[in-house]
Amino acid sequence: MNTSAASVVVYVTYQGTPQDRFDRDYYVAVHLPLVRKAWGQYGLLSVTALFPAPARDGTVALCECIFRDEDAVEAALASPEASAVMADVPRYTALAPRRFRAVAL
């Protein structure tokens, strides 16, 4: 995987409680492959899901998306495929995804 200084990391987090619905199996088996297929053509290099311990309030899930560069992020988010990615969210959770870019220190 190429994670040179030019690559950009976008994190998507879902904040909630252990009682909030988040279908981890669907997220990993269906949603992440959809993201890879939709945005790989624009420069998405990798996507990884992380799930903190479920017994606490806070972050329910975190997704790390590594893009080739800033142009790739912008192209993916503005692509026709972005609407299909976003429309899939209610199938695994009612929590609102929050996106932010990581900045290298």
3 pLDDT higher than 70: no
**The whole model's pTM is what?**
0.88
Selecting from 3.40.50.9100, 3.30.420.40, 3.30.70.141, 3.30.70.100, what CATH number does the domain 8-101 have?
3.30.70.100
- pLDDT, tens digit (0-9, with 9 covering 90-100), for 60-102: 999 999 999 999 999 999 999 999 999 999 999 999 999 999 8
pLDDT tens for 28-70 read 999 999 999 999 999 999 999 999 877 778 999 999 999 999 9
Number of other residues whose CB lies within 10 A of the CB of residue 8 = 21
DSSP classification of residue 96: P
Backbone region of residue 58 per phi and psi (left: phi > 0; alpha: psi in -120 to 50; beta: other values): left
